[in-house]
Each structure stands twice: as C-alpha cells, then as structure tokens.
Structure 1
Amino acid sequence: MYVVSTFSKALTEIDRAHNIREFSTALVKHERQLRKAERTIFLQKAAAEFYLRFVSSFEENIRAGESWGYATTCNAVSREAGGLMGIQACERMAARVSQLDNARIKQIGIRALSLFASSFARRSSVTECRNGTIRIAEFCRDHSGAFQELHSQNLTMLVSGFSNWPEDAACREATIAIAGEVIRRAARLSELTQQGMTRLVNGFSQWPEEEDLRKATVAIAGELVRRAARLSSFTQKELAKLVNGFSKRPEEAASRQATVAIAVEVLRRADWLTSFTQQDLAILVNGFSKWPEDGHCRQAAVSIAGEIFRRAAQLSDHTRQGLPNLVSAFSKWPEEAACRQAAVALAREVLHCDAARLSSYTQQGLVSLVNGIRKWPEEQAFRQAAVALAREVLYRVAELSHFTQRDLANLVSGFSKWPDEAACRQVAVALAREVLCGAARLSGFSHEGLASLVDGFCKWPEELPSGQVIVAIAGEVLRRANRKERLADFTRQDLASLLNGFGKRPEELASRQAGVAIAGEVLRRVDRDGALSGFTHEELTSLVDGFSMFPGEAECHRALAGTTRELKSHGLQLR
C-alpha cells in the first residue's frame, strides 16, 4: 500500500503545482522514490503536463529566475521513460533555447545550461536539439570564465552534450575551453566521479587533433592510473569508453599506462567476459591493439579473442564497423592462436554476408578487413574472404577516387597476398589505374604508403598498369630525394621495399635514378666502422637483389658491395 499511496501522492502533487518551481521540485523528489513501472507512468504524465502547462511560458519564467526548474524537468522527462511527450517537450525546449539572445541565455545560468545540453544530447538526430546545443556552446565559448563556478559534474554534462556534434565549430571551441578548465583543475581531478572521467575522455576523443584536449585527456589518464586499485567499480561500458578515448592518443605515456591498467582489470574479469556486450569487447580490443607490444594488452586481447570465438554463432549481431575493427585489432597479434581463431570466425562471417550486407560496409570497414586478414594469407577462410572483398571493391570501382591514399595503399598491400586469385588481380589493376589517374596525389602518400604500393604491385609484374605505377612512384621518390633531408626520413624497410620494386623495372630511367638515390641514402647510413647496422637479413637481401639490377650505376655498385659485406659479416648467405 505504501508504493501505491506514494504513487498517488506524486501524481497529485504535480497536478496541483502552481508554478514550475513547485512542479520541478515534486518531479525530482518523486522520481527517485517510485519503482520502475510507476516511475515510467509518472514521468510520462509529468512530460505531458510540462509540455502543455509550462513550456510556452519559458521565456517569461527566465525573467522570473525560474530557469533551474525548467532545466531539471527537461532533464528528467527527456529520458527514455518520459515517452513521446518527453521527446516533444525536449524538442520544444531546445527550439526555444536556440532562439535566445545573449542577455536572455545568460539569465538561465551556466548550471542550468549544462542540464539542458545533457538533455538535448539524448535526441542528437533532432535538428531542434542540435540547434539548441549549439546555441549553448556559443554562449559557453564566449563566457568560458563562468566554468570556474561549475562543479565537475556540470562540466562533464556540457562536454557530453557538445561531443554529439563534433563537426560544429562552436561545440569544438566550447569543449576546448572546458578542457582548459580541466587542465587548470589538474591537482583536483580526484573530485571527478568515474562516470565524469568517462564522459570527459569520451567527449574529448571526438577532436583528437586538439592540443588542449590532448593535455586534458593526459591529465585524466594520470588520475585513472592513480585510481587503478578502484577500477573494479567501473562498469564494462565505462572501461570500454575510457580505452576508446585513450587509444586516440597512443603516443602519450599516460594513455598507455591507463589503458594497461584497464587491461589488467579486464584480465581480472576474464571469467566474466560473457557479461560484456559485443560492442564493448570490440572497443576494448581495438583500443588494446594500439599498444600491441605490451604484455597486459596482449593477454587481454587473447582473452577477448577466446570470448569472440565462443560467440561465433552471434557474430552477425556485430555492427558494420564492429566486425572490421575486431579483425584489424586481432591482426596486431598474428602469432597468437586465439587471435587467429577469432579472426577466422570473423572471416567466415564475411563469407556468409550476402551482397547487400557487404555493400553496407563503409570504405574504412572494407580496408580494415583487407588489412587485417592479410596477416594470415595461408588460411583458406581468409583467401575466400579476400576474394569476396575484392569483388565488392570492384563493384565500387567508380568510387575509388573517394578512398584516401592510405586506404589505397592498404588495399594493394592486402590483396597482393593472394596474387594468383583472379579477383585480387583485377582489383589491383583497377587500383593501379586509380593511382595513375590521380598521379598528382602521389605526393600525398606517406613513405610507407609508397613502399606498400610498390611492394604490392610487384606481385603482378605482367600487368601494364602495375608497371606504370611503379615507374610513377620512382619519379615521386626522386622528387623527395631532392629535398633538403633527401631520403633520411625513409625507414630501412621502406628503402628495401622500394628498391626491390624498382629493380623489377631496371630498363626504366626513373627506376635507375631512384635506385641511385636509394644507394646514396644507404651509403650515408654506413657507420664509421663501415657497417650497416639496423638492417634485418631480409632487408639486406632485398637491397642486394635490388642494387644488382643496376650494375652500370657506380653508386649502386658501391652500395651493393656494402650490403653484401654486411650480410657476410653476420655469417649470412645470399638467397
């Protein structure tokens, strides 16, 4: 009888409320007391009352200093339990906030605005909610001094709201200003709740290129490391979101330390991985893959791989991006049997996809799949998946100009693992033509990207477009060799791969000239003792094979002698 009477009393109080202050007070009080079923009915009733009785008087009540009541009510009814009327009330409030001038929005107060931002973010697909949040972001950007009076919870609400629209300049700039406040409070980050830490890291990750957001994320990562012993209280979703955020800053030691701490916690929960959602597991392993050399990240990834393999029958439930991310992540540990088994199961899921589902993968998803499965070329499932993916890329041949240079290089490198497959050869020809059509884009390829293209196209030497691309890349390498730094920023592997490819076209002037340029760079790396330290056996062998294709070039002859001597000094034999 107590619950029933409480429920009746709650409905009566909101019915009899004379103003928004009385209404919001009753709403907040009873929302916390009611059980789930009664709370849903109560919130939907409150949403209808709010929409019909109070929303239209919002501007008038701002002047009366009653903004807080509107903010707390909107925050309550905009949740899922508020139903359709809660959605409509939230949209109407957002529309009104979006139209406020600076004087009026300042009267609302920054604390109330943080609640509005949090409410509107729940309806991120609605134009009114987007516009309302952007208006709040504009105010916050221009009045960032007000952040000092805010509790950390309000800061997290604002970031959580703004991060739903990362493409908007005002949302980005306001978030940068909040990051500045977080940095200012670096010594007091112990005040952050675990939910607050998660929201900030997740929100800041929407703009990984921003320096202040990087600094704020690093500060929070340091705080999480200090709390490592308390990670057991974090939910699975919170751990996943934190790893996702930290993985956007893989170069930061604090990001790595925080992620390793989370990996240790995931390992502690290894027997309960069945309680993790598919999405959380995918996010975690994708984050751990940013530090593949760390033992804890490796072990956590292996545990997750085992869980993914046990869920093989449910792999169709993964999102379009989730499955490619898993394959890409597991490929960072190709020698781990569990990672290979999970990747095989994922590849078989790709094979089970009909044409309609394959066509639903994004360009990045296709590239991630190809780039991942190439680590196990001997597996039949991966060969079959590669053929299916090659056919899908061929279906999209008219869209190849939309792929980035990195994507094109990864596709060529991936499909080259199965050069005898007709579909892989056909797609390689199409990719070669795309690179040739946009030859000016070669300047946008990284050194590694150029090396991947050459190394890949060499697998089809009989194809004219492949040879033409290699010659074009030789010209690009020559252009870079004429820079002040010459080829000093090319890795040893890049130099070896490029030379090996140019050696397949020794009759071409550009190939010979590029070979000479690489020879000069290799000779510059000879130390005082005449040794070429750092080059692997495979790299040295590729250099020897490459230089030997240009016997008439003095520089290549000298480099050939040096690399041959280095091989022999290690007691290694030429192939």
Structure 2
Amino acid sequence: MANPVNRFSKCPKEFSRREATVVIADGVLSRKLSDFKPQELVNLVNGFSKWPVEPGCRKAAVAIAGKVRPGQLSVFEPHALANLVNGFSKWPVEPGCRKATVVVVGEVRGGKLSHFDPQALAFLVNGFGKWPVEPDCRSATVAIAGEVRGGELSCFDPQTLANLVDLFSKWPVERDCRKATVAIAGEVRGGELSYFDPQALAVLVNGFSKWPVEPHCREATIAIAGAVLSRKPSDFEPQHLTNLVNGVSKWPDEPECRPATVAIASIMRRGQLSHFDPQAMAVLANGFSKWSNEAACHQAIIRLARDLGTGSRRFGDFTTPQLNMIAHALGRSCMRGEDTGEITETALLSDRLHRLAHHLEYAADRLEQADVLIIATIFKAQSKARLFDVLGLLAPIGLIHGSGFIAENNLESMGNLCAPLLPLACNSQKIDAPTP
C-alpha cells in the first residue's frame, strides 16, 4: 500500500492517481496500523498530504497521527521524522496532527539537529510553522534557527532558504530567528538572485521586512527589488506582488525600492483585482501610499478604491485593521489629489471614505472594540479628506471607551486621536451631529 501511494504522489495532478490513493486511504483505515513498518507509515502520510482536501486522505493521516506516541519514535530516521511533520502540517486544524507534531518536537529536541540534512530541517520548520502559538513548536524552531545560523548556508537551495526566512519571520522577537534570517540575508545579498523563482523572491522580501532595522535585511531587499525589475510581470502571481509591496514598503526612503513598487503599481493599474483578497488589497493600498507622489502608485490606489464598498468588495468583507490601512491610504491620496488639482479622482477617494464612515457608523462595534491607533488613523483619514460632517458622527463612537480607554493609553496616543477632531471643536453643531 505504501509504495503505490509514494509513487502516485509524484504526480498529484493526475486524476487517476488521486482516485487510486483515495481508495488506498480507505484500505489503510480498515487495517491495523501496527502491520505497517515505520517507513511505510511515513510514505503513506507523505503521499496522502499531496491531496489534503480529500476526506479519505485526511482521515487516514489523522489515524496514523493518533499512533504517534512519546518514546516510540527512535525507530524513525531524521528524514522520516521531518516527512511526518511536513505531512501532518497539511491538516493544521486537526488536533491529532498537532499532537503528533508536538511529540515529534520532543524527539527532535532530545536528539541532535546536526543529524538532519538541510531539506529535513526545512521540512521541520515548515511543519512547526503551522502551529506558531504552540510553545514546543516555537522552541524547536528557535533551536533549528540556531543550527542554521551556525551551519553552511550554501548547502541550502534557494527555495529552502526562502522557506526558512518565511517561517523564522513568524517569531520575529526570537533572537536566534533574527540572527538566522540576517545570516540568510547576507547569503542572498552576495549570491546570484537569478536562481530564485518569483515566489521565493517575494517570500524573502516579506520575511526580511520583519527586521527593517537590520542592515543585511535592508541590503538584501534592495538587491531583490532591482532583480524584480528584470522579471516579466506575468511571472508573479497576486500573492507574490502583495508580498513584494508589503516588504519593500518597510524601506520607503531607499531609492532602489521605489522603481520596483512603481512597476508593480503599473501592473495593478492595468489589471483586474478579482484575484486579490481583502487582506491583499489592504496591504497593497498601504504599501503604495508610501509613494503616493508617484503617479503610478496614486493611480493604483484609485483603481483599488473604485471597487471598494461595492458588491464585490463590501466593507464588511474587511477586518477593522484592514479598513484602517485602506483609510490611511485613501486619506494620503486625497491630499495628493488636492495638491495636483485632480478633482474627479479626489472626489472618488472622498466618496469611498464617506461610505466607509457610514459603514463604521452602523457597524459601531468596530470602533468601540478597536485600539486607539486604529481609531486615530481612521479619524485622520476623514480629516485629510475634509469630511468633517461624517467625522462628527464617528467621534462619539470612537471615544465611547470611557475612562479606561484614556488610562490605557499615553498622552501621545491620545494627542494623535484628538488632533483630527480639532476642527470639530470650533463648530458645536458638528460635534452634536445626531446619530440615527
């Protein structure tokens, strides 16, 4: 059973192999798992993980995960343990897969990480990254980061280096994760970027951006920004573009980051946005706003705004932090539009901010539960667009937190919150604007 599944998994896109694997998965559930050798179990999990949405594959993998017990893993070789973790990680919501992975963590931490080759280490980190709130997964990843930092990075292929950065960035406060990423950034900066595919480049930039004060991360990102310009726009998928903009926007003062962002903005301006989810739209708007004086970036924000609040992009589809990023971008673009005399486009931006304000008025719990920085940013955006009437409607909702709200925030935060409201203080009629 294990050998056919292992062969079929080499071609996961072939429907006949998928069907055959599902049949085998049902057969596994009817057998005693003790009948299988350790490597056979590994091959089964690895094979089933190629079709994670198949109920039969999921059930069989969960059944195997249930048999993973502490003290019983010494028969598994390091690479086999890594494959188990990588396989179980395809079903992160399954408690059995999470528990089995934690058991493997204990085995990994109790052994020597030097026994794991670069690919095995990458598999482990990839798997542990699916449960970032699990303390054992976190500590094991930190230990692996230490091993990576002290090892020979040239042993890792480009895709593996990108995956490691992506996963270390889930724990940015961990010293070893930071140092390992900085070491990888140095390797990337001095290496040949043509070996990295578009996805890897985007993942690297997004990961490096978690440590913007690190010179190596900044320099590696600058190098990648230049490399992006030599690639075809069609090489990058929507998520790649989003990650690139999000990453390079952490260094808006770097001249080399500007051309890459402008190039991506030009793609966004001409293309369709249906492939971008709400999170991506918010990230893109926020990133482009760092260069709002660039015509291409400004036009890309206009393009994003045009669909905002419509049937396909309702405000209710966005989280409050996402709306916060979008409001910030629209507010900055409004000021740019006023300075350049772009009346029609500025009117569109103001209209979307106006609609957003009314959404927040009726969905009052959003502002009531938001932190002071989000509220202040939304207020500032409305103020920049001179939408003082709707700002007067939002102000009572945003300030409804009471005395505890003031006690929990410092004077600077409260000042940022109140500054956009100063025009209202000069007009009692606007302050007292009724709410429905």
TM-score normalised by length of structure 1: 0.69
Q: Does 1:443 align with 2:286?
A: no
Aligned residue number for residue 330 of structure 2 = 457
Q: Distance in 2 between matches of 1:507 and 1:392?
A: 31
What percent of counterpart residues are identical? 35
Unaligned runs of 5+ in 2: 338-345
Contact persistence 1:548–1:556 (CA under 8 A): no
Choose the corresponding residue for 1:546, options 415, 420, 426: 420
* Aligned: 1:511 with 2:391: yes
Residue among 352, 359, 362 paired with 2:234:
359
Match of 2:244 among 369, 373, 376: 369
Relative contact order, higher structure (CA 8 A, sep 6+): 2
Q: Which amino acid aligns with 1:302?
A: V
The amino acid that maps onto 1:525 is G
Change in Cα spacing, 1:468 to 1:176, as seen in structure 2 (3 Å) is farther
Alignment of 1:471-550 (within 5 A): 471-481=354-364, 483=365, 487-505=367-385, 507=387, 509-521=389-401, 523-526=402-405, 532-535=407-410, 537=412, 539-550=413-424
Relative to 1, partners in 2 of residues 1:191 and 1:393: Cα closer, same or farther, differing over 3 Å? Answer: same
Please give the per-residue CA displacement for 1:393-413, whole angstroms capped at 9, x wherever unaligned: 1231xx212311000000000
Separation of aligned partners in 1, 2:26 and 2:361:
49
1:318 aligned partner, one-letter code:
F
The one-letter amino acid paired with 1:179 is A
Check the 8 A contact 1:516/1:553 in 2, yes or no.
Answer: no
Q: 2:201 aligns with which of 307, 317, 323?
A: 323
Query: Counterparts of 1:417-436 in structure 2 under 5 Å?
Result: 417-436=290-309
Q: How does 1:139-154 map to 2 (within 5 A)?
A: 139-140=27-28, 142-143=29-30, 146-154=32-40
Question: What secondary structure is seen at the aligned counterpart in 1 of 2:211?
Answer: coil
Counterpart selection for 1:199 from 83, 95, 101: 83
Using a 3 Å threshold, how does the CA distance of structure 1 residues 190 and 499 change in structure 2: closer, same or farther? farther
In structure 1, how many angstroms separate the alpha carbons of the residues matched to 2:212 and 2:147? 24
Amino acid at match of 1:236: P
* CA displacement at 1:440 relative to structure 2: 5.9
State the 1:532 CA deviation: 2.8
- Which aligned pairs between 1:88-237 and structure 2 lie closer than 5 A? 113-140=1-28, 142-143=29-30, 146-182=32-68, 185-227=69-111, 230-237=112-119
Deviates more, 1:512-521 or 1:342-351: 512-521
CA shift, 1:154, in A, is: 2.2
- Aligned to 1:475, the other structure's residue is in SS state helix
Greater Rg by CA: 1
Unaligned runs of 5+ in 1: 1-112, 558-575
Q: Is the 8 A contact 2:321 2:374 kept in 1?
A: yes
Q: Could you tell me which residue of structure 1 aligns to residue 284 of structure 2?
A: 411
Aligned-pair CA distance for 1:216: 2.4
- Aligned-residue offset at 1:212: 2.8
The 1:409/1:503 distance shift into structure 2, 3 A limit, reads same
**Would the alpha carbon gap of residues 437 and 238 (structure 1) be closer, same or farther in structure 2, given more than 3 Å must change?**
same
State the AA in 2 paired with 1:250: P
Q: Note the alpha carbon deviations across 1:237-276, whole angstroms, 9 max, x for none.
A: 111111111112212111110110000101221xx21222
Structure 1 or 2: more helix by fraction: 1
- Contact kept, 8 Å, 1:204 with 1:245, in 2: the verdict is yes
How far off its partner does 1:553 sit?
Answer: 6.3
Shift of 1:508: 5.3
Q: Secondary structure in 1 aligned to 2:133?
A: coil
Q: CA RMSD in A?
A: 2.2
- Size of the aligned set, in residue pairs, is 421
Distance 1:149 1:234, change over 3 A: same
**Alignment match, 2:342:** none
Distance change (3 Å), C-alpha of 1:440 and 1:367: closer
Match of 1:386?
A: 261
Indicate the residue corresponding to 2:340 in structure 1. Answer: none
The 1:511–1:263 alpha-carbon spacing in structure 2 relative to 1, beyond 3 Å, is same
1:282 is matched with which residue: 153, 162, 171? 162
SS in 1 for 2:153: helix
Q: 1:497 to 1:118 in 2, by over 3 A?
A: same
Change (3 A) 1:542 1:323: same
Aligned residue in 2 for 1:250: 132
1:440 and 1:345 mapped to 2: Cα distance?
35
Q: 1:490 to 1:225 in 2, by over 3 A?
A: farther
Give the C-alpha shift of residue 377 in structure 1: 0.2
Q: 1 CA distance for matches of 2:164 and 2:98?
A: 20
